[in-house]
Amino acid sequence: MNRPEIELRELYVFAVVAEELHFGRAALRLGISQPPLSQQIKKLETRIGHTLLQRDTRSVRLTEAGMTLLGVARKLLEDCAQGLIKTQRAGSGEAGSLNLGFTATTALHMLPQILAALRLALPDIHVALFELLPDPLTEALESERIDIAIAREMINLDQFDAVPIFQEAYVAVLPAHHRYANGAGKLKLKNLRDDDFILFPRDHTSRNSDRVIQMCRSAGFMPRMLQEAPGWQTAVSFVGSGLGVSVLPRCVQSFQLPAVIYREIDTTITSTISLIRRRGDARRIVDQFFRVAQTSIKADS
């Protein structure tokens, strides 16, 4: 990197004189007397090797070299000012980059809402998104490939700080021809004891299937699992094909399939969505993301 022979202060002094084209007014604006100001300009001209200002008893005019330097000075001064602002915003966590991991089950409603709020509140934060399954999500957070995670029903979080931000109710997902597809009020889960259930594979970090099994047990039966589905949209499609029923968080209602009906169910068990960060990560940009995310969810509750 080359070090310039001119300091920013010298460029600023020259720019003020060039804008005023009057040494008296420029000196007043700079808060100095006129003789030192004239000396500074002469030193600058000597360093550059060219006359920058043509002056006589009546006027001050910019030379070709002076006009060129004025353009350079204005750009450098503006870039420096903006650079300082960006530096200050980065230091306060209001600018910079984050890698955000999320599970597909949070992308239906929660993730878009948080990102929209972040764009409004902190437009200088760039977020790179990584959709991951629960196990890889945990590994990516631990290895610092992502900075923050948004996930639901995560376990094995001893090395992380998790902040619950939303409790989502569950709904029964039924084929349109199901005997309980239509009805008033909440559906009693025990009414589905004779149905085949479509659930998710149980892994080491997600408790979604465990929650459904817990609900069914509380209703007095153990669900008969017919089919495992790798994702929620697949599960809803299976239900629409008549393969069975399912119980999923309410946000799946965004999958509007003609052969599927959603019914509220009589349970107080909810699905918990959390923001997760590495324990000890005290960066301000992470704090800012958590603040905006939590505020946006509260505003929507």
Task: Give the DSSP letter string of 75-120.
Answer: HHHHHHHHHHHHHHHHHTTSSEEEEEEE-GGGTTTHHHHHHHHHHH
Which alpha helices (DSSP H) does the chain contain, by range?
8-20, 23-30, 34-48, 64-91, 110-121, 134-142, 208-218, 232-240, 284-300
- Residue 168 phi/psi, 5-degree rounding, is -110, 130
The H or E element that residue 272 is part of is strand 270-278
Q: What is the CATH number of the domain that holds 205?
A: 3.40.190.10
| CA dist., res. 29 & res. 250, Å (int) | 64
Q: Which domain holds residue 286?
A: 96-164+275-300
What pLDDT is stored for residue 2 in this prediction?
Answer: 67
Please report, for residues 16, 163, 196, 277, the alpha-carbon distance to residue 204 in angstroms, rounded to integers and kept in the order given.
66, 20, 24, 19
What pLDDT is stored for residue 93 in this prediction?
Answer: 77
Query: Which of 61, 91, 121 is the endpoint of a domain?
Result: 91
Do 54 and 30 belong to one domain?
A: yes
Do 176 and 263 belong to one domain?
A: yes
Question: Mean pLDDT, 10 residues at a time, over the chain (301 residues)?
Answer: 78 90 90 91 90 86 92 90 80 85 84 92 93 87 94 77 90 94 90 90 62 90 81 88 92 89 91 91 92 81 52
Contacts with 190 (C-beta within 8 Å, 6 or more apart), sequence order: 219, 220, 221
Query: Which of 64, 91, 118 is the endpoint of a domain?
Result: 91
Do 215 and 291 belong to one domain?
A: no
pTM over 0.75: no
What pLDDT is stored for residue 205 in this prediction?
Answer: 47
Query: Which of 91, 113, 129 is the endpoint of a domain?
Result: 91
Residue 294 lies in a domain: yes
What pLDDT is stored for residue 204 in this prediction?
Answer: 42
Residue 212 lies in a domain: yes
Residue 215 lies in a domain: yes
Residue 3 lies in a domain: no
Do 193 and 249 belong to one domain?
A: yes
Q: CA quadruple 127, 154, 166, 160: dihedral positive or negative?
A: negative
Do 283 and 228 belong to one domain?
A: no
Do 24 and 173 belong to one domain?
A: no
